[in-house]
Structure 1
Amino acid sequence: MNVLELNDVTKKYGEFVAVDNLSLQIEKGKVVSLLGPSGCGKTTTLRIIAGFTSPNSGTVQIAGRDVGHLRPYERNVGLLFQDYALFPHMTVGENVAYGMRYRGTAQSAIPSRVKQMLSLVQLVGMEDRYPRHMSGGQQQRVALARALAIDPQIVLLDEPLSALDAKLRLELRVELKEILRSVGATTIVVTHDQDEALSLGDEVVVMGGGKIVQRGTPTQIYEAPADTFVAEFVGRSNWFRGASCAQSSNGTTLFVTKEGIEIRVKSELGRQHDTADLCVRPENVELVDFAASELVNIKDANVLSSKVLDVASLGADVHVVVELPGKSRLLVIRKNDGRTADLVPGQPVWAVFPASSVLAFEAPNVN
């Protein structure tokens, strides 16, 4: 059953089209991340679902009911805002109870529901505290408890972790996912943070220009992006733009970059197009001692001569930048397991990556 259905929704601000004929269906119990850069339409879409913004055209249905004529508090939607929007003059308990009091919940049932929600977010015993006496992470939990307390049909989270520092954001990301799963909440998470979107969502909807560019599981979005926009926005990428097709047979295509570098791709793209934009993820590249000359003839592997430009240890990962022929550069990301310990700037190495790891996209036709 679809809890949410957006059908051909469009929202314009003057000549600017914020949401462009968007249709979206979300099944009960699913957590879906809306991911995209600023101005892509994800927040406007959230506001339309919540009832804060009215579309110029299209319909919004929640649990099979058209809610276009309903005000926000009539839609049974739980909201967690970016700044949490807690009432500073109310205690934690009063904040959590607020939505229930204005939605007709029996007065006798409110105290036990408040305790249940605070137990869920691990804040038992803090009912009488005020938000100003709590950390950012605790305030986020209070706001989540308030959103869930009304037993909403949909929970809407607008950049829920962006106000927190990096370490706390990572910790609460795990907690948030566990809480949403435990209550079976149908949830939409709006974020521009790709790590947040991929880790929280059962599905990810990538938006651009007010439209849905791609929808899929986190693995599908990362490993099989629909186009260059998705490949660039989700994850780190090395690009070879406008590579020319030299040969294509048996599912393998050989491209030659503008710098004369040959790159083999497991793709039939060359059969239809003369040029392509090639993408190589940094974690798919291995660096091998230049003395291992036998690597040059490895079947279905790209083995490129290069030299190390920079090595940066970033805790768990090591980022290595190497220079290829023609002065093009390649970022390589490896786990900090000792394999890159001896690399120094100026050192010659082979950059090795399988043909199957190269993503190929039709190059735009530039006249």
Structure 2
Amino acid sequence: MNILELEHVTKKYGAFTAVDDLSLSVEEGKVLSLLGPSGCGKTTTLRIIAGFTSPGDGIVRIAGENVGQLKPYERNVGLLFQDYALFPHMTVAQNVAYGLRRRGRSAGEIPVRVKKMLSLVQLNGMDDRYPTQMSGGQQQRVALARALATDPQIILLDEPLSALDAKLRLELRVELKEILRSVGTTTIVVTHDQEEALSLGDEVIVMRAGKIAQRGTPIEIYDAPADRFVAEFVGRSNWFNGSARGRLQDGSTNYLIGQGLEIRSSRQRRDGDAILCVRPENIEIVAADAAVKDSGLNRIPGTVVDVAPLGADIHVVIEYADKSRLLAIRKNARTAVGFEPGTLVQAIFAPGDVLVFPNQHS
């Protein structure tokens, strides 16, 4: 069943529309990521679900009940704030117990529940510590334990890992996913971090200007973006202006991209002018005179202008044709050995890796 339903929800602040006729539903036990740039409406949507912001129009249902008139504390919703919002004068145990006391849980039940939640987030033995005595990662766990303690129907996570450094953010992202899976609570994650959204969510909604630009699984969002906005926002992309030159026998289409260069796509077919997209990680680099066995691959000759080793990845920038450039990302630095700046190379990629979008001016 759908535990959460938004129907035609709109929220305006003066002349600015933060959420524009938004409708969505979330199945019980699923994790949904709301992803998008600042100002796209994702945080306003979260606040409307929580009850901190009332929609100007539309209906919010939780477990089938219209909660539009209910206060935040009257909704069975847990919320993990971006800054954690822990009470500094309370111990860890008191912070986790706060919501339980507000909901009138019995004196005998509260310490048992607190102990269980602290064990879940791996904070055993830290009951008597204060937030100021804990690291950022530990504070985040306390906030999560407090949000889960009341056994909410929905838990809302507002940029849950943004206050942490990169290494700790990656570690806790894995732990957070495991915890959410173990408790099975329906979860809405709001984030502008694409990796966070894709890794945590069973489904991802990409928002733009208060509307849903695309909804799908993480793989669908990345491999089959609905439009150029989604493709640009989620992941890196190389872009080419192309003009269709005709369809081939295998069903693919050739596109002229300038100065006699053509690339072929076996994805969406589009006549006339188009915008073509190739992800950097789908591009192989070989020497300019290297023989390529598969004649069906796209090949763009060019010159290496920059090589940037970035740990596990290496970024290679190639200049081709009329000073245009493309980026190739390799996962192993050894694959780029010998391709120093000035080296003549070929950028190679499959027709199935070429996404096609309408030209904005066509």
TM-score tier (shorter)? over 0.9
The residue that corresponds to 2:216 in the other structure is 216
Per the alignment, residue 163 of structure 2 pairs with: 163
Pick one of 350, 353, 358 that aligns with 1:357.
Answer: 353
Q: What are the ranges of 5 or more consecutive residues in structure 1 without an aligned counterpart?
A: none
Measure, in 2, the Cα distance between the counterparts of 1:257 and 1:39: 34
Give the drift of 1:258: 3.9
**TM-score between both structures, scaled by the size of structure 1:** 0.96
Cα drift, residue 268 of structure 1: 4.9
Which residue identity is paired with 1:226? Answer: A
User: Corresponding residue for 1:336?
Assistant: 332
Alignment partners' CA distance in 2, 1:18 and 1:79: 21
Q: Which residue of 2 aligns with 1:261?
A: 261
Aligned to 1:86: 86
SS in 2 for 1:61: strand
Matches for 1:107-118 after TM superposition, within 5 Å: 107-118=107-118
Aligned-pair CA distance for 1:246? 1.1
Where does 1:49-128 land on structure 2 (aligned, <5 Å)? 49-128=49-128
Q: Could you tell me whether the CA contact under 8 Å between 1:313 and 1:336 is conserved in 2?
A: no
Q: Conserved in 2, the CA contact under 8 Å of 1:248 and 1:268?
A: no
Q: Kindly provide the CA deviation profile for residues 287-335 of structure 1, in whole angstroms up to 9, marking residues without a partner as x.
A: 011121x43x833210111110011111101100011111110100001
* Partner of residue 278, structure 1: 276
**How much is the aligned-residue C-alpha RMSD, in angstroms?**
1.1
Corresponding residue number in structure 2 for 1:248: 247
2:33 aligned partner: 33
Partners of 1:141 and 1:268 in 2: CA distance: 45
How far apart are 1:104 and its partner, in Å? Answer: 1.8
| Preserved CA contact (<8 Å) 2:268 2:355 | no
**1:115-159, CA deviations, whole angstroms, 9 ceiling, x for partnerless residues?**
000000000110100000000000000000000000000000000
Amino acid in structure 1 at the alignment position of 2:53: T
Between the aligned residues of both structures, percent identity stands at 67
CA distance in 1, matches of 2:240, 2:69: 50
Partner of 1:173: 173
Q: 1:257: Cα distance to partner? A: 1.6
Mapped partners of 2:266, 2:141: distance in 1: 47
Query: Higher mean Cα deviation, 101-110 or 120-129?
Result: 101-110
Contact 2:268/2:356 (<8 A) preserved: no
CA contact (8 A) 1:269 1:362 kept: no
Instruction: Tell me which amino acid in the other structure corresponds to 2:85.
Output: A
Q: Distance in 2 between matches of 1:298 and 1:217?
A: 32
Question: 1: CA distance between counterparts of 2:41 and 2:213?
Answer: 12
Secondary structure of the 1:338 match is: helix
Once residues 301 and 9 of structure 1 are traced to their aligned partners in structure 2, the CA distance between those partners, rounded to angstroms, is 47
Return the offset for 1:341.
Answer: 2.0
Deviation at 1:261, TM superposition (A): 2.2
Q: Secondary structure at the match of 1:70?
A: coil
TM-score by length of 2: 0.98
Q: Structure 1: which 4+ aligned runs deviate by more than 3 Å?
A: none
Equivalent residue runs for 1:137-156 within 5 Å:
137-156=137-156
> What is the CA–CA distance in structure 2 between the aligned matches of 1:251 and 1:67, rounded to whole Å?
51
Report the equivalent of 2:287.
289
CA displacement, residues 160-210 of structure 1 (integer Å, 9 cap, x when unaligned)? 000000000000000000000000010000000000000000110000010
Cα distance in 1 for partners of 2:359, 2:297 equals 23
Q: CA deviation at 1:269?
A: 2.1
C-alpha deviation, 1:267, in angstroms:
3.5
